[in-house]
Structure 1
Amino acid sequence: MQFVKYTPFFVTCFLLVGCQLGISNNRASDINTISDAESKLNLLINDKSCNATFQCRVIAYGERACGGPSKFDIYSIKNTKQEEVEFIANEITQFEKAYNKSSQHLSTCEHNTSPQTLCINKVCELVERAH
């Protein structure tokens, strides 16, 4: 009898989880090319407003033929979801990995350091690292 009492609750939870999974899978539905992914990422990280430096982040993405990321961008988590940025950055990385593998593309093997950001005048800005 207890099972029947809680059945509507379990059915509702199951449906909500299914809806959530559908939302996650739809994020990539409009990304068909690396250009699509790069455009989507640029739109997503365009708002670099911040109240404090802890909101400023660096995302490394892409894949150079020698390994390591091909690009770094800064963004703010004040109005942007970090998970979405990471998801799209990963899509770009996968596109570049596939391209490098299929074309046997070559690149420089120099080490690129991750940039540093600070919140300056309520905007995340790139700051040069001291050498």
Structure 2
Amino acid sequence: MNKLLLILLLGCAACTTQAQDPQSPAPAAPAPASKAPSDLLAKIRALTADTTCSDNGQCRSLPVGAVACGGPSDYLPYSTLRTNEKEVRELAERYKAERQAQIVRSGMMSTCRHLPDPGAVCVAGSCQLGAGAAAR
């Protein structure tokens, strides 16, 4: 019985192993995207990382990304004291456009859940998403 089981396992392993022909060229690596959306998101996150504030009036929420049914996929809090608002909003718009194009190309679908803007508040000297964020 043990021999039969060993033969069966070796047979299965042989069938699932892909033999490489030493003469055949290695598969080509996929070409990197020139400006992947994740690169823009990382830049947006870096620009909004310092959320230092002294009152609620210095805090804003930034819609980022896109979902198939429309609207942003998330919000990030930022401080007007430490963030170039014009630059970060332009990057967020570019990221949104890239995500929308990616959604169209891939045929992605979403749950069509509306994500309301939670706003942002200053808590202990740091901008944070408002009370609406806790409901998510």
TM-score, shorter chain, exceeding 0.5: yes
1:107 aligns with 2:79: no
Indicate conservation of the 8 Å contact 2:68/2:103, yes or no: yes
Structure number with higher helix proportion: 1
Q: TM-score, normalised by structure 2?
A: 0.68
1:35 shift after superposition: 1.5
1:44 aligns with 2:47: yes
CA distance in 2, matches of 1:75, 1:37: 16
Give the secondary structure class of the aligned counterpart of 1:112. Answer: coil
Runs of 4+ deviating beyond 4 Å: none
Aligned twin of 2:95: 92
1:76 aligns with 2:71: no
- Stretch moving more, 67-76 or 112-121: 112-121
Q: TM-score, normalised by structure 1?
A: 0.71
Structure 1: gaps of 5 or more residues: 1-30
* 1:40-64 CA distance string (max 9 Å, x none): 0111000000121111000112121
* 1:76-124 CA distance string (max 9 Å, x none): 1101111011011111101111111111110111111111321122111
* Same amino acid, percent of matched pairs: 33
Q: CA RMSD in A?
A: 1.8
Aligned counterpart in structure 2 of residue 53 of structure 1, from 44, 51, 56: 56
Structure 2: gaps of 5 or more residues: 1-33
